[in-house]
Amino acid sequence: MVSTDFSYRLWRHDGTPGELIPLLQSAQEHFGYIPRRAIRYISEVTKTPESKIYGVITFYSQFRLQPMGKNVIRLCTGTACHVANSGVLLDTLQDELGVEVGGTTEDGVFTLFSVACIGCCSLAPVMMVNDDTQGKLTPARTRKIVRKIRRQTLASERQAQATSDAETAPAAD
């Protein structure tokens, strides 16, 4: 299987046409978004102007120029979910998180996206939180799920913080 690792891909690039999008995809996988320096690297190896790369990035909805939150929520707004009232869920999520679609919460815990159909129409309305699909949502259930994940994320962060503190000062338990 061909490695999708970003630096490997950059290194082995041999001028094959059509490699720009796969390179951007592996950059995004590596960094979580496409930073300025990745655009510079890609421009150098593919001999493509940065302006053109920027044009490709902004054309496709998959690519991000900003870092994302620790959890990514993708609310389905496809036809079946729309008929099942996903619009209310979008309002609920925007209200609960305090961000618009495409935005990241101030604490960096969530990024909210809407997507057109994730193909789980019989479970509508659905959202994907990272790789988990949650189906048959209501506003109340949606809030519960989001709050639970926020608690878990913050708790694990605190724990990681505590561990690193404990390492530096073992007596201060």
Partner 1 sequence: MRKILVGMSTCGMSAGAKDTYAKLESLLPEDSPHELTITGCIGMCFREPLVEIREGGTRTIYGDVDPKRAEEIFEKHIQGGREIPEYVIYKVEDDKPVGGQELAFLAGQERIVLRNCGLINPESIEDYEDRGGYQATRKAIEEMAPEQIIEEMKTSGLRGRGGAGFPTGLKWSFAAGYSGEAKYVVCNADEGDPGAFMDRSVLEGDPHAVLEGMIICARAIGGTHGYIYCRAEYPLAIHRLQLAIEAARERGYLGRNIMGTDFDFDISIKQGAGAFVCGEETALFASIEGERGMPRIRPPFPAESGVFGQPTNNNNVETYANVPWIINNGGQAYRSYGTEKSPGTKVFALAGKIAKGGLAEVPMGMTIEEILFGIGGGIKDGREFKAVQMGGPSGGCIPAELKHTPVDFENIPKTGAIMGSGGMVVMDDTTCMVDMARFFLTFTQEESCGKCTFCRIGTLRMLEILERITRGEGQPGDVEALTELGGRIKEASLCGLGQTAPNPVLSTIRYYMDEFKAHIEDHSCPAGNCPALVDFIIDPQKCTGCSICAKNCPVDAISGTLKHPFVIDTEACVQCGKCITSCSFDAIFKTGKKVAAR
Contact residues toward partner 1 (CB under 8 A) are 1, 17-22, 24-25, 55-56, 59-63, 77-80, 82-84, 88, 91-92, 95, 115-124, 126, 132-133, 135, 138-140, 143
Q: How many CB atoms lie within 10 A of CB 101?
A: 14
Paired tokens of 47: 């001999």
- The beta-carbon contacts of 132-135 under 8 Å, at least 24 apart in sequence, are none
Question: Whose Cβ is closer to partner 1: residue 108's or residue 139's?
Answer: 139
CB of residue 81 vs partner 1: minimum separation in angstroms?
8
Query: Which residues in 118-148 are b (16+ Cβ under 10 Å) and which e?
Result: bebbebbbbbbbeeeebeebeeeebeebbee
CB of residue 92 vs partner 1: minimum separation in angstroms?
4
Question: Whose Cβ is closer to partner 1: residue 147's or residue 158's?
Answer: 147
CB of residue 99 vs partner 1: minimum separation in angstroms?
15
Question: Whose Cβ is closer to partner 1: residue 62's or residue 164's?
Answer: 62
Q: How many CB atoms lie within 10 A of CB 97?
A: 20
Question: Whose Cβ is closer to partner 1: residue 22's or residue 108's?
Answer: 22
Helices (H), the chain: 6-12, 20-31, 36-46, 50-59, 79-83, 86-97, 139-168
CB of residue 32 vs partner 1: minimum separation in angstroms?
15
